[in-house]
Amino acid sequence: MALFEQYRNGINLGGWLSQFSATRKQHFETFIQEQDIRQIAQWGADHVRLPVDSNVLEMQSAPYGSNEAGLAYVDRCLQWCEKYHLSVLLDLHHVQGHIYGEMDKPVPLFTEPTLRARFLKIWANLTQRYKGIGKNLAFELLNEISDASSYQWNQLCADAVKKIHQIDSRRIILIGSNEANSIFTLNQLAFSDEPNLVYNFHFYDPMLFTHQKAHFSQDLRDFNATVHYPGEMKGFPTYLATHRQYISKFYRTAWEETNDKALMQKYLTNAENFIRFTGRELYCGEFGVIKGAPEEDAVQWITDLTASLDTLHIGHAYWSYKEMDFGIVDEFSQVVRPQMLKVLFPNSRV
């Protein structure tokens, strides 16, 4: 099994069935349409990562059955992707009981039996629904895990893998690393003899560059510094000294002084060692640079990263296709970052 053969170079469909600001039918009908999938295929992508929140997939009251209205949009996307020869990675982006970034104590998803059962039921229902779709559909169990214990996620995903493979033994399943799919926590993952498992991470490090001045991140918004690639990263440790509540978020990267290819390779050593010592396949489900960063620097960072991932045979999907502060296209699906597009998909025509 080699995920890299079919999921080598893709893009996320963030903001459509996940992280949406309104549940109006108009949003679901218009944010991603068939012409968007056709455009992505014409760029030369081989897959899309489809983030979906659990409230799209399940009813929100007991007995938590399937939400047919929401699932219809997933069905539609799968049909479009089949038409334009794109594989799909179905990512459960948010689920009841999981709290993004909560690393001080176990989140309810890992401690409450009812929430664990709901999580497993979602995957059982999805597996049964899409059993007829072959290797062009893979499942990602949960996005950007926060497990303060560092072992409860391993227990839950083992149960989910068992549940899925009891129904469909051939389904490829992706299991993400702890601390929001960090490359630094790949060594916390437990391994299984189950077939068709792939492990995944996200790469936004250092966030001081990729998320600089992000309006949705108070720490980086307040720090308010332009960071270049390559370039110096100074002043952030001083900032953290007076804003100690953010130290835990940045403790792995905050003390670096230079943002360059050498630093990127230093971080990627974690993935390289994982592959070398485990013999397991890796996938990078998200990476990107916010629009507020200097565009030439962002393009160079993406160029270096994708080249490194390709060398390691790590498939990847850019975050994200449309809007969402990182998007390649605007609300009308018109390309707004042509240099970035050309790096991501060299055969695209803008």
Render pLDDT for 124-135 as a digit per residue (tens, 0 to 9).
Answer: 999 999 998 988
Render pLDDT for 78-126 as a digit per residue (tens, 0 to 9).
Answer: 999 999 999 999 999 999 999 998 898 999 999 999 999 999 999 999 9
23 pLDDT band, cuts 50/70/90, is low
Does residue 302 lie within any of the structural domains?
yes
What is the model's pLDDT at position 4? 79
Render pLDDT for 77-86 as a digit per residue (tens, 0 to 9).
Answer: 999 999 999 9
| The residue to which tokens 């170079």 are assigned | 9
Q: Check if 144 is active-site.
A: yes
> Active-site residue among 140, 179, 281, 286?
286
What is the model's pLDDT at position 191? 86
Render pLDDT for 295-324 as a digit per residue (tens, 0 to 9).
Answer: 999 999 999 999 999 999 999 999 999 999
Does residue 283 lie within any of the structural domains?
yes
Does residue 149 lie within any of the structural domains?
yes
Residue 282, pLDDT above cutoff 80: yes
Q: How many domains does the chain have?
A: 1
Does residue 247 lie within any of the structural domains?
no
40 neighbors 348 (Cβ within 8 angstroms): no
Does residue 189 lie within any of the structural domains?
yes
Note every long-range contact of 339-345, with CB atoms under 8 Å and residues 24 or more positions apart, other chains counting.
339/295, 339/296, 339/299, 340/295, 340/298, 340/299, 340/302, 341/43, 343/299, 343/302, 343/303, 343/306, 344/9, 344/11, 344/43, 344/302, 344/306, 344/318, 345/9, 345/43, 345/44, 345/45
CATH code of residue 138: 3.20.20.80
Residue 175, pLDDT above cutoff 60: yes
Does residue 225 lie within any of the structural domains?
no
Per the prediction, the chain carries an average pLDDT of 95
pTM here is 0.97
- What domain range is 167 assigned to? 3-217+264-344
Q: Across residues 30-51, what is the average pLDDT?
A: 98
Does residue 110 lie within any of the structural domains?
yes
Does residue 234 lie within any of the structural domains?
no
Q: Across residues 220-249, what is the average pLDDT?
A: 95
> Active-site residue among 58, 144, 179, 281?
144
96 neighbors 165 (Cβ within 8 angstroms): no
Nearest to 282, CA basis, from 204, 205, 182 = 182
192 pLDDT band, cuts 50/70/90, is confident
Residue 1, pLDDT above cutoff 60: no
61 pLDDT band, cuts 50/70/90, is confident
| The residue to which tokens 């994982």 are assigned | 274
326 neighbors 333 (Cβ within 8 angstroms): no
- Ranking 52-66, 202-216, 225-239 by mean pLDDT, the lowest is 52-66
58 pLDDT band, cuts 50/70/90, is very high
Encoding tokens for residue 118?
A: 């709901």
Q: What are the distances in angstroms from CA 91 to CA 68, 119, 142, 219, 273?
A: 18, 13, 6, 28, 25
Encoding tokens for residue 269?
A: 């050593």
Q: What are phi and psi of 299, to 5 degrees?
A: -65, -40
What is the model's pLDDT at position 193? 82
